[in-house]
Amino acid sequence: MRCGWRRQYERRAGPPQASSHPLGGQAQRAVGAGMSAAPGGRSLWQNCRVATLQAGVNQPYGLIDDATMVVDGAHLLWVGARHALPEELAGGTSQSHDLGGALVTPGLIDCHTHLVYGGTRASEFEQRLQGASYEAIAKAGGGIRSTVAATRAARTDMLLRSAMARTQGLLQEGVTTLEIKSGYGLSLEHERRCLQVARALAQRLPLTVRTTFLGAHALPPEFEGRADDYIDAVCAWLPTLAHEGLVDAVDAFCERIAFSPAQVRRVFEVARTLGLPVKLHAEQLSDQGGAALAAEFGALSCDHLEYLSEDGVRAMAGAGSVAVLLPGAFYFLRETKLPPIAALRQHGVPMALATDHNPGSSPVLSLLLMLNMACTLFRLTPEEALRAVTVHAARALGLSDRGMLAAGQRADFCVWALDHPNELSYWLGRNRCQTVVVAGQAVPPSPITN
């Protein structure tokens, strides 16, 4: 049995930094202290077992035993077996890290969240347990709309503070890239504010944040009975927000309780004129043909997909769209209709996993837990699950510089006190992440506050 990881790799966290800003102390501690190497320096990470997830490594998980990684600045310069390390790379490094046989994986990527919002929906959770359905709650003005009201009422610093606390939990479990959707503002002013908070998170915490405009999430009360007028407004806001640099992608919720395919098409057409990629909440509660529509626009991903048809699967395969599966929402809503995993496999549609973190249908703050749920509920294999939160999640965000460990990729990786990558899917409620490295820099642990 391998037990080398017990010789723990010692983190080099620095002392807390003082700051007069209410959020600044924490931010400085995360960004400024405890970094493992000077930016631009070269470091050696050795005596580890690396799940590269490279297709070229002919082992499950692209596994390399007794591996060495050479990091140069923010990127990987070399990854391979220690004995194969070229001599010219062995010297000239400013730092060397002995990982004691620990497991290394790419940094995890949570490619679908709604992380910026006010309030919680714990009371609706209680109502559902008393018999109310998600759709019935939404029709009665609850659901997304109650979070919209709480988000609009929240002070910006409180939105940021609560989102930071949630993000820190994900970061400590190895998440190094995070997608955040708007969609709880539902006015130009409030959608902008949520996207700005998402951008601010990336300034304060050491991880990449990708923003997605989800104006077509729900109908705000001021547009009651006027869904087409609201879509006109969303189409008008999008160029403004895009020109302000706040939008990396565009999403919509295509469902009976949200927007029709025709309405989604109008939003996507504006996205296309702006050169923005699209994604879609599709086929979660019924088959609306949303995935096929999104595929027409070359969607990065279609997400949820419990009711996805065979035609929808084919359309996604043709467009190269990623299927983002969200077992947290499936579990929390006690759904029983499974996404068509066998058909997705058969047609070669890459599968990603995400938390879908949101206060209504998936208050999940553990991407690791999604690995286990994907295996137990959807019958993914542990290797499929790990690829789903790395390689395929990167693709769902249109990012080609991360998600596997190979020369030229970003040096985003996690060191785990585990023997084998299948344990990432096996354990429940056990975070064995020892060290998170983002762009070549080891991130010190920071306390979770709220």
283 or 356, CB closer to Zn ion? 356
What single letter denotes the amino acid at residue 6? Answer: R
57 or 115, CB closer to Zn ion? 115
Binding segment for Zn ion (CB under 5 A), chosen from 88-96, 239-247, 349-357, 421-429, is 349-357
Binding segment for Zn ion (CB under 5 A), chosen from 33-41, 232-240, 294-302, 350-358, is 350-358
220 or 382, CB closer to Zn ion? 220
Helix-strand-coil split of the chain, %, nearest 5: 40, 20, 40
Closest residue to Zn ion using C-beta atoms: 356
Among residues 72, 356, 384, 412, the one that binds Zn ion under rule CB under 5 A = 356
Q: How far is the CB of 322 from Zn ion (least distance, A)?
A: 14
252 or 344, CB closer to Zn ion? 252
31-55 burial string, b = 16+ CB within 10 Å, else e? Answer: bebbbbbeeebbbbbbbbbbbbbbe
How far is residue 160 from each of residues 72, 115, 191, 194, 302, measured CA to CA in Å?
Answer: 33, 10, 14, 9, 28
Give the contact letters, 307-346, x = binds to Zn ion (CB under 5 A), - = no.
----------------------------------------
Q: How far is the CB of 148 from Zn ion (least distance, A)?
A: 15
Token code pair at residue 374 = 């994907």
Binding segment for Zn ion (CB under 5 A), chosen from 117-125, 140-148, 256-264, 355-363, is 355-363
Tell me, what DSSP letter sits at residue 348?
T
DSSP tally for the chain: helices H, then strands E: 17, 15
Q: How far apart are CA 10 and CA 2, in angstroms?
A: 19
191 or 356, CB closer to Zn ion? 356
Pair 293, 254: CB distance under 8 Å: yes
Binding segment for Zn ion (CB under 5 A), chosen from 222-230, 267-275, 356-364, 384-392, is 356-364
Pair 302, 277: CB distance under 8 Å: no
Q: How many residues bind Zn ion (CB under 5 A)?
A: 1
Phi, psi angles (nearest 5°) of residue 232: -55, -45
- Non-local (6+) Cβ contacts of 256 within 8 A are 135, 285, 286, 288
124 or 356, CB closer to Zn ion? 356
27 or 180, CB closer to Zn ion? 180
283 binds Zn ion (CB under 5 A): no
Burial of 261 (C-beta count, 10 Å sphere; 0-12/13-18/19+): middle
Q: How far is the CB of 429 from Zn ion (least distance, A)?
A: 23
Q: How far is the CB of 330 from Zn ion (least distance, A)?
A: 12
Q: How far is the CB of 348 from Zn ion (least distance, A)?
A: 24
Q: How far apart are CA 165 and CA 177, in angstroms?
A: 16
What single letter denotes the amino acid at residue 24? Answer: G
Q: How far is the CB of 281 from Zn ion (least distance, A)?
A: 5
37 or 282, CB closer to Zn ion? 282
Token code pair at residue 199 = 């951008």
Q: How far is the CB of 414 from Zn ion (least distance, A)?
A: 25
Q: How far is the CB of 112 from Zn ion (least distance, A)?
A: 6
Binding segment for Zn ion (CB under 5 A), chosen from 286-294, 352-360, 385-393, 429-437, is 352-360
Q: Which of 275, 281, 284 is nearest to 293 (CA)?
A: 281
306 or 356, CB closer to Zn ion? 356
Q: How far is the CB of 37 from Zn ion (least distance, A)?
A: 37
306 binds Zn ion (CB under 5 A): no
Q: How far is the CB of 324 from Zn ion (least distance, A)?
A: 9
- Dihedral of the alpha carbons of 37, 42, 45, 51, in degrees to the nearest 10: 110
Token code pair at residue 91 = 């010297």
Cα atoms in the 13 Å half-sphere on the side-chain side of 370: 37
356 or 384, CB closer to Zn ion? 356
Binding segment for Zn ion (CB under 5 A), chosen from 95-103, 348-356, 388-396, 410-418, is 348-356
251 binds Zn ion (CB under 5 A): no
Q: How far is the CB of 251 from Zn ion (least distance, A)?
A: 8
207 or 252, CB closer to Zn ion? 252
Helix (H, G, I), strand (E, B), or coil: what is residue 189? helix
Q: Which of 287, 331, 354 is nearest to 108 (CA)?
A: 354
Tell me, what DSSP letter sits at residue 5?
G
- Non-local (6+) Cβ contacts of 381 within 8 A are 375
Question: Footprint of Zn ion on this chain (CB under 5 A)?
Answer: 356
